[in-house]
């Protein structure tokens, strides 16, 4: 295949259903159940370069979320966590990557079509590739311009919001397309009630008067692992963090600082919302402190968080 996206250049293999296969052979049938009905669950994880070599950040929590995401869909992942860990560590090692993004996915494969997936086999893959700053290096320093999406986040009474389900990501795709189409870098999605939920692939934090707020999990946002990390880091740094907040659209406009958290986005400042400048219109001091601490942490330079790393 000559049209391989640049981001995958140099990647030799993918782990698929128990085997390491050539990148070009990591394929599925067009009648794959998940392709038609979105019946897959996935994770996004990062492996960072540390002084002790590559280390996967909070792998156990990501793996736990993968198995949890699978539950509502009766997706029985035919590998245990130890097997997926071994496969992933070996894949990173075989690729010789110092740091990378990791995409595990489990999905109903090629079987009889129809909404009942019971007779479709569950397939599992893990792919890795080098991936820099998701919203761009400049975004980490200068912040991003975001817009409130006209698409609302689905409620957990419609689709489980604590699961990372492939099909449900059409909601995020719509929000991203709209934001980018209107000249913004990213969207913020409100929930059914009109309160702030999250970004299409990020959780959101607000800073006001030196205190930190993030929407509670009942606001239809994902239980982000970076969100959990930021909450703990900020508390360890002495900040007061309200992690069950309800945040209105108007509060975004008057916040001192806003930032996104996510495995892909890491800690990215938000400098404007709907063309309203947030704070000074650049990375604020609290965001800066948390972002610095976050990168020190994931690069293995902070003592006391060893449990969060899986060495490759």
Ligand X SMILES: Cc1ncc(COP(=O)(O)O)c(C=O)c1O
Position 203 contacts ligand X (CB under 6 A): yes
CA distances from residue 175 to 136, 154, 195, 248 in whole angstroms, order as listed: 19, 12, 16, 18
Shortest reach from residue 263's CB to ligand X, in Å: 3
Among 99, 214, 226, 268, binds ligand X (CB under 6 A): 226
Q: Which residue has the tokens 């992942």?
A: 77
Among 201, 279, 284, 300, indicate the residue that binds ligand X (CB under 6 A).
201
Beta bridge partners of 19: 16
Please tell me the count of residues contacting ligand X according to CB under 6 A: 15
Q: Closest CB to ligand X among 130 and 281?
A: 130
- Residue 42 CB, shortest distance to ligand X, in Å, is 9
Interacting stretch for ligand X, rule CB under 6 A, among 3-11, 139-147, 224-232, 282-290?
224-232
Instruction: Out of 39, 40, 44, 154, name the contact with ligand X by CB under 6 A.
Output: 44
Interface with ligand X includes 46 (CB under 6 A)?
Answer: no
Q: Which is nearer to ligand X, 13 or 134 (CB)?
A: 134
**Residue 227 engages ligand X in binding (rule: CB under 6 A):** yes
Applying CB under 6 A, does 290 fall inside the site for ligand X? no
Decide if residue 50 touches ligand X (CB under 6 A). Answer: no
Residue 224 touches ligand X, criterion: CB under 6 A: yes
SS (H, E, C) 13-61: EEEECCEEEEHHHCCCCCCEHHHHHCCEEECCEEEEEECCEEEEECHHH
Distance from C-alpha of 245 to C-alpha of 196, rounded to nearest angstrom? 10
Stretch in the footprint of ligand X (CB under 6 A) among 136-144, 178-186, 195-203, 247-255? 195-203
Nearest 5°: phi and psi at 204? -125, 140
**Token pair recorded at residue 129:** 């590739």
Minimum Å gap between C-beta 215 and ligand X is 11
Catalytic annotation, pick one of 164, 180, 192, 283? 164
- Cβ proximity to ligand X, 62 vs 120, nearer residue: 62
- Rounded CA-CA distance 227/233 in Å is 10
Q: Which of 32, 50, 120, 172 binds ligand X (CB under 6 A)?
A: 172
User: Active-site residue 164, yes or no?
Assistant: yes
Enumerate binding residues for ligand X (CB under 6 A). Answer: 44, 172, 198, 201-203, 221-222, 224-227, 261-263
Active site residues: 164
């Amino acid at each position: 295949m000559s049209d391989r996206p640049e981001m995958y250049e140099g990647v030799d293999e993918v782990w698929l259903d128990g085997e390491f296969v050539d990148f070009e052979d990591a394929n599925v049938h067009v009648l794959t159940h998940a392709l038609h009905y979105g019946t897959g669950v996935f994770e996004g994880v990062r492996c960072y370069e540390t002084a002790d070599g590559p280390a996967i950040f909070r792998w156990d929590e990501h793996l736990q979320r993968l198995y949890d995401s699978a539950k509502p869909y009766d997706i029985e992942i035919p590998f245990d966590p130890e097997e997926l860990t071994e496969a992933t560590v070996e894949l990173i090692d075989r690729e010789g990557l110092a740091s990378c993004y990791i995409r595990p996915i489990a999905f109903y494969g090629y079987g009889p079509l129809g909404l009942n997936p019971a007779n479709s086999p569950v397939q599992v893959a893990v792919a890795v590739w080098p991936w820099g700053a998701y919203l761009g290096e400049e975004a980490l320093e200068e912040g991003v311009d975001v817009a409130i999406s006209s698409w609302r986040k689905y409620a957990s009474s419609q689709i489980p919001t604590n699961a990372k389900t492939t099909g449900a990501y059409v909601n995020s795709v719509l929000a991203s397309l709209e934001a980018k189409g209107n000249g913004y870098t990213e969207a913020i999605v409100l929930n059914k009630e009109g309160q702030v939920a999250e970004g299409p692939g990020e959780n959101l934090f607000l800073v006001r008067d030196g205190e930190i707020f993030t929407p509670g999990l009942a606001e239809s946002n994902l239980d982000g692992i970076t969100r959990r990390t930021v909450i703990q880091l900020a508390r360890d740094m002495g900040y007061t963090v309200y992690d069950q907040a309800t945040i209105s659209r108007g509060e975004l406009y008057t916040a001192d600082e806003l930032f996104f958290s996510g495995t892909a986005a890491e800690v990215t400042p938000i400098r404007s919302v709907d063309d309203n400048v947030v704070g000074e219109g650049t990375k604020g001091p609290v965001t800066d402190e948390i972002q610095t601490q976050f990168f020190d942490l994931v690069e293995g330079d902070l003592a006391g968080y060893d449990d969060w790393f899986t060495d490759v």
